[in-house]
């Protein structure tokens, strides 16, 4: 059907706090290459939030998600202040 998938590690600590669209450089056997937008795969539990330990920040909160066009993006909150900000926002939505 002409589709393929791959996995690659991403150094989240190098990105830091913010919202990031993930793009990839695909290199072919003949040496040519192309830049592509990573697309989110469908399926239960594939885009789950996670807490990641970080030497740089202490902790990272990572929330991968699919954009409206299906591209893969990730929101990152870093360190104790990032965790506090996320928890405050969640409480505000629950209570308000």
The pLDDT value given to residue 1 = 67
Helix H segments across the chain?
12-15, 79-95
- Is 32 inside any structural domain? yes
* Structural domains counted in the chain: 1
- Is 28 inside any structural domain? yes
- Is 10 inside any structural domain? no
For residues 37 and 64, give the distance between their C-alpha atoms in angstroms, rounded to a whole number: 14
The pLDDT tens digits along the chain (96 residues) read 677 888 888 999 999 999 999 999 999 999 999 999 999 887 778 899 999 999 999 999 999 999 999 999 999 999 999 989 988 998 999 998
Positive or negative torsion for Cα 57, 9, 19, 76: negative
The pLDDT value given to residue 8 = 85
Closest by alpha carbon to 63, among 82, 49, 73, 52?
49
For residue 59, give its domain range: 17-95
Alpha carbons within 13 angstroms on the beta-carbon side of residue 74 total: 23
pLDDT digits (tens, 9 = 90+) for 12-36: 999 999 999 999 999 999 999 999 9
- Is 12 inside any structural domain? no
């Amino acid at each position: 059907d002409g589709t393929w998938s791959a996995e690659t590690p991403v150094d989240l600590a190098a990105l830091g706090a913010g919202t990031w669209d993930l793009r990839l450089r695909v290199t072919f056997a003949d040496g040519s290459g192309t830049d592509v937008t990573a697309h989110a795969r469908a399926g239960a539990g594939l885009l789950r939030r996670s807490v990641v330990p970080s030497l740089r920040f202490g902790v990272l909160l990572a929330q991968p998600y699919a954009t409206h066009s299906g591209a893969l993006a990730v929101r990152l909150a870093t360190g104790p202040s990032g965790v506090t900000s996320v928890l405050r926002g969640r409480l505000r939505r629950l209570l308000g």
